[in-house]
Amino acid sequence: MVKYYFIFISAIGGVGGLLFLMSRIKLLFSGAAIIGTVERKQKRTWINSDGGGCAYHLVIGYIGSDGEKISYTEGCSIPSLFYKVGDTITLLQDPNRPSRIMVRSKIVLFSAPLLILFLSVVVGYIGFK
């Protein structure tokens, strides 16, 4: 019986991962490109059972459609490895949800959905084993 739980969780995760991946692909092709500049790297810390740690997130400035300067903090810390303060960076903005903005980077766009799909396959494999 436990086997079916693994298969069910794998199927739900697989569907969710595919939908997530499709939304990212849609953003890649239909998103409005915005050019910004890395203003700084913001340190974020957290505390967990291992004592905690920190990550650096990019704070990117760009000019909005109304001509106002806007600052955006990237939620993913991966781009901070590749960009330094002062670098020009391309952002993607969802035309249907202007508050949805992401750094235009294949790693940022595809790492989370592909990780979910990979974990779904692993859980499914455990269920079929």
pTM: 0.74
pLDDT in the model for residue 4: 81
Identify the domain containing residue 68 by its residue range.
2-128
pLDDT tens for 66-101 read: 889 999 998 888 888 889 999 999 999 998 888 888
Q: Which amino acid, one-letter code, is at 67?
A: G
- Distance, in Å, from the CA atom of 29 to the CA atom of 69, rounded to the nearest integer, reads 25
* DSSP-assigned beta bridge partners for residue 115: none
pLDDT in the model for residue 123: 87
pLDDT in the model for residue 112: 85
Reported as type and span, the H/E element at residue 122 is helix 106-128
pLDDT in the model for residue 124: 86
Are 70 and 61 a contacting pair, CB within 8 Å? yes
117: left (phi over 0), alpha (psi -120 to 50) or beta: alpha
- Distance, in Å, from the CA atom of 54 to the CA atom of 56, rounded to the nearest integer, reads 7
Residue 62 or residue 53, greater confidence = 62
- Distance, in Å, from the CA atom of 128 to the CA atom of 115, rounded to the nearest integer, reads 20
Pairing of strands 32-46, 88-93: antiparallel
Give the total number of structural domains in the chain: 1
Confidence of residue 62 (pLDDT cuts 50, 70, 90): very high
- Distance, in Å, from the CA atom of 56 to the CA atom of 66, rounded to the nearest integer, reads 29
